[in-house]
Structures are given as C-alpha cells and as structure tokens.
Structure 1
C-alpha cells in the first residue's frame, strides 16, 4: 500500500471521522505524511461498535501479516485488533489461533505510540483478495495506518 500500487479506490472503511476525506481510508497508508489534512484513517468515533478498514488487493495474494502505525500528528492509535480475509468481499474468515479444537479469533497487539511500526505475523499464511482489520481497542480515537505483508500470486 505504501508504494501506491494499491489504488485509493481499493481501500475502504466502515466509517470516517465526521465524514471528512482528510480522515478517509486512503490516508491509512504506512508512513503517510500529509501536507494538508490528517495522515491517517480515523473511524466515526466511539458510537461505532465494530469499526473496520479493508484493502482489495485486486487478485488473490499470499498474506503473511501486517505492519501498523498510529496517527502521526496526534496521540491516537489502535492498541488491539482482529483480522479477517475474503476472496469476494462478502464472506469473511477471521484469523484464529488454530491451536485448539474450537479455534478462537485472535486479537493482535497494536501500537503504543504514534509512529513506531508494529509488525504482526499471522500464525500461518493464507490466500485472499481482501484483508480487513477490525480494531477492538484504541488509545483516545480509533486511528491507524498499515501495510499488508505477503506476496502476489502468479495466476
């Protein structure tokens, strides 16, 4: 995402703070430094119970993890999140611990400051076209930047 290979239209979210484009999902690219407006995606606020941000990779890819970052210009960041993936953007599978007879959705540790990269590697890689990050806890406001780790498939 950071290098621009993922088009803006492929990054979507459940909501945006004050419906303001300066906080839109296209601002969620890792290391983004905006010259005007915020350099981060922020959801609509505490009234939204289940926020998410997702990326359409355009075709199936092998996904191994994510790198997350907080909001560069304020003390806002996601401290915990879950991850789901999909081939069609309709039916979602949550990343689970896979170590029990009843796999439970994993909650991954997020950030503890504005700019430090936190790299999360999933228990096992998976193939999907869509990746969705579901913040479950945050510091002040639900805001984040991220990158997807993995590789494209030669189909």
Structure 2
C-alpha cells in the first residue's frame, strides 16, 4: 500500500522530513525539542491495516525502540491499537538501524490514517516504516454458502435382516436395509413410496409428503 500524504509532529531538517520514512529513504527524524513526536500517513481511501514494519535510520546509528500505533477514519479522532485484552499495545521496535522488525496487529483494522508514536529510542527519534495490509477490493469474497449434505440414512437395527424405509426428503425414493446396510432405491416414474404399505404406489394413495 502506498500512502498519499505524510505528516509528522516535527522534522529535524529538510533531508529527514516525513516522506524520508519510506524503507528506501534516509529516515524521518523528529526535531530534538519535540516532546511528543509522531509520524502519520493518509491513504485518502479506506485500507485494511494488519501490521507495521519498522527500520532504523539509514546509515546512522539511530532507531526507535518502542512505540504505539493509532488509527483513524477521519483524522480527528484516533484509536490506539490494542491487544486481545483491550490494553493499548506497546510494540517492540528496532535494535539497530538496518534490521526490519515486523509487528502484527491482533486483527485487520479498517482505517484511512495510521499514526506511529515513538516512546523510546536510541540517541534520536528516527525511523523508517511501512504499513502492512491491503485495499478492500483485494480481499477475496467469502465462498458462497453450500447446502448441507443430509446425513446418511441409518438402518433402525442391524438385527433386522431386511426392511424398507421411506426417504426422509424424497417420496420417489426409499431405503432397503439388509443387516444394517442401507441401499437407496428409486420408485418407477410416477410412483411414490408408501411408508405404510412398504411398496411404491400411486401418489394419491401412497400417503407420502416430501419435505
């Protein structure tokens, strides 16, 4: 996914502005006087965010060690990513400036904005990052519902040598049980199986109703 707008609470200089936070960039640096640093992206359209990959700054010994992530659909109200217990999640970031670290969210989050708030860092607030996820139209639709297969017919008793029994849903069929083994049978065209007479009969006299 490619963000359309990058913003941050501050930047150290022109070379390390928010757009430099892409994995191939030099990295974003907050201004040293920034007491509440953050960087955020705007995708313009809704996306499903599933996690984040972070890196330290390129070619220099600075990185973010822990951070929080917030999401928003409007850019006005922000919701922290929480763990399965409903606690704001503190993610473990990087331990050097080059190794990527993946952090997955507990589930897919539908959002437009994603904000990363560094909590602790090495030397200076610096990072490169990318959001993991996909656009809504990239999620495959759920499979169509399938009609459940009716349970196989079970003969009433294995002790009974033979017996004829009506089909549970189709009046034109019946089961022949032989020592506990059921075999599905079909009446001749135009006839229904009579549960009472145990024979195929005319529909008006068979007394069978399909369900």
- TM-score of the pair, normalised by structure 2: 0.63
Equivalent runs, 1:1-150 vs 2, <5 Å: 5-7=2-4, 10-17=5-12, 20-32=13-25, 39-45=26-32, 47-99=33-85, 103-150=86-133
Secondary structure of 1:120's counterpart equals: strand
Secondary structure of 1:66's counterpart equals: strand
Shift of 1:31: 2.9
Residue 162 of structure 2 is aligned to residue 151 of structure 1: no
> Unaligned stretches of 5+ in structure 1?
33-38
> Unaligned stretches of 5+ in structure 2?
138-211
Give the structure 1 partner of residue 190 of structure 2: none
Give the structure 2 partner of residue 36 of structure 1: none
Structure having the higher Rg: 2
4+ residue runs of structure 1 moved beyond 3 angstroms? Answer: none
In 2, the alpha carbon distance for the partners of 1:93 and 1:50 equals 17
- TM-score of the pair, normalised by structure 1: 0.84
Count of aligned positions: 138
Tell me how large the CA RMSD over aligned residues is: 1.5
String of CA shifts for 1:104-133, please: whole Å, max 9, x gaps: 211000000011010010112210000000
